Structure 1
Amino acid sequence: MGEGIDTRGLLRLMAWLSPAFPVGGFAWSGGLERAVADRMVTDAGGLSAWLATLLAHGALWNDAVLFAEAWRRVDDEAGLADLADLGLALAGSAERHAETLSLGRAFVSAAAAWPQAVLARLPQDVPYPVAAGAIAAAHGVPVEEALAAYLHAALSQSVSAGIRLGVCGQAEGVVILAGLEEAIAAVSARAAAGTLDDLGGAAVRADIASLRHETQHSRLFRS
């Protein structure tokens, strides 16, 4: 970790990544709903393994790299615009594209409660990790701490989706999050020290699940 986060930065980070922050994250599952429907994830152990794979090799890893790069480009308007375009292009399906764009726009809009010049530098069409990374940097939140909180919030949302889908109970969900702590810390450190050359993934089944969700007849989630 870096020098650490001050109390005001911590409070803002907690607000931005709280389930109560109005970005609408509860409406999306990132393809998990289809994975459950196709019996690729059937229990708490399967959900934990699914999330660990996304974190190390899938969409969450790429999000972490984009977040860290946005944090570094906080003062570079053209650089943020290019990064936003790249982040949207990396979305593996139409619904994943809609998810990251919807969350990104909502995050910027809600974060305007804490005025910062970076809000004017961000493009209108901005993926969620780019928006969150740049805004965290503008408020002086250290990159590793910000990344760890961002990834923990994303995983918490996925666990909540798993509970709603009947894969696990609340107590099991807490155990899953506890078990992912070391992986979150490791990925946060690796992404913070990485570059765009580190983008890439191998979570093929998750990408296919996301694509198949677009044609699922009965759904609880939008992705």
Structure 2
Amino acid sequence: MCMGRTAGMADPQLLRLLTWLSPAFPVGAFAYSHGVERAIHDNTIRDRATLVAWLSDLLTQGSGWNDAVLCAASWRGEDVAELAEAMAGSRERHMETTLQGEAFVQAAEPWTGEGRPAPYPVAVGHAARNQGIALDAVLTAYLHAFSSNIVQAAVRLVPLGQRDGVATLAALEPVILDTAARASQSTLDDLGAATVLSDIAAMRHETQYSRVFRS
């Protein structure tokens, strides 16, 4: 039985953020595995434990971390679009961030009224700033969406069951929250990654003979 509205749940900014970073939002995220398809092919990711470890590294010291720093800089009004493109370590990573960013800008236009393409984390940060969405909220939601997309790719390819996918996201909650908190206080001097295997997997995926995903 409905007992009335729960405090805070009617916030239009929260609803907007959930819509923008929903798997159903038309940015084409389902088409990208972020190099995970190659990591699975190489047996580096083969079960829930190895998937959690891989994603934890991406979030704390890899592309997930850099995306969060760039998103925060964009939210603060810094012009980091060219820098974000330069941070893409391979052709497919560049395609992934630029095409998703372009799609996000187009899809978010009913709210933002803007149409300037930018890499994905930059576009999300800029739109959130202009809509008055708190930085910690957008970083948490962005990193959750980043993780969820990779988990769904792994569920299809390892294969993992949906329960393993959900359990992976549960295990990543403290990592996502900590990364979002650190990124909210970051500067561009904090950019940097140490996930070499992920970068190599992304480059090898470009020439993989048979594949399901675009990256």
- TM-score above 0.5, yes or no: yes
Q: Give the CA deviation at 1:168.
A: 1.5
Amino acid at match of 2:31: A
Work out whether residues 37 and 157 of structure 2, in 8 Å CA contact, stay in contact via their aligned partners in 1.
Answer: yes
Residue 64 of structure 1 pairs with residue 64 of structure 2? no
Residue 12 of structure 1 pairs with residue 16 of structure 2? yes
Q: Which residue pairs with 2:186 in the alignment?
A: 194
Q: Which residue pairs with 1:101 in the alignment?
A: 98
Q: Give the CA deviation at 1:105.
A: 0.2
Residue 115 of structure 1 pairs with residue 112 of structure 2? yes
Percent identity reads 52
Q: Give the CA deviation at 1:6.
A: 6.9
Q: Which residue pairs with 1:76 in the alignment?
A: none
Q: Give the CA deviation at 1:189.
A: 0.7
Q: Give the CA deviation at 1:110.
A: 0.2
Q: Which residue of 179, 200, 212 maps to 1:208?
A: 200
Tell me the secondary structure at the aligned position of residue 30 of structure 1. Answer: coil
Q: Which residue pairs with 2:3 in the alignment?
A: none
Please give the alpha-carbon distance, in whole angstroms, between the structure 1 residues aligned to 2:149 and 2:178.
Answer: 20
Please give the alpha-carbon distance, in whole angstroms, between the structure 1 residues aligned to 2:92 and 2:159.
Answer: 22
Work out whether residues 45 and 158 of structure 2, in 8 Å CA contact, stay in contact via their aligned partners in 1.
Answer: no
Tell me the secondary structure at the aligned position of residue 110 of structure 2. Answer: coil
Work out whether residues 13 and 146 of structure 1, in 8 Å CA contact, stay in contact via their aligned partners in 2.
Answer: yes
Change (3 A) 1:165 1:18: same
Q: Which residue of 89, 92, 106 maps to 2:89?
A: 92
Change (3 A) 1:56 1:5: farther
Q: Which residue of 137, 142, 155 maps to 2:134?
A: 142
Work out whether residues 5 and 145 of structure 1, in 8 Å CA contact, stay in contact via their aligned partners in 2.
Answer: no
Moved over 6 A (4+): none
Q: What is the root-mean-square deviation in Å for CA atoms of aligned residues?
A: 1.3
Change (3 A) 1:5 1:102: farther
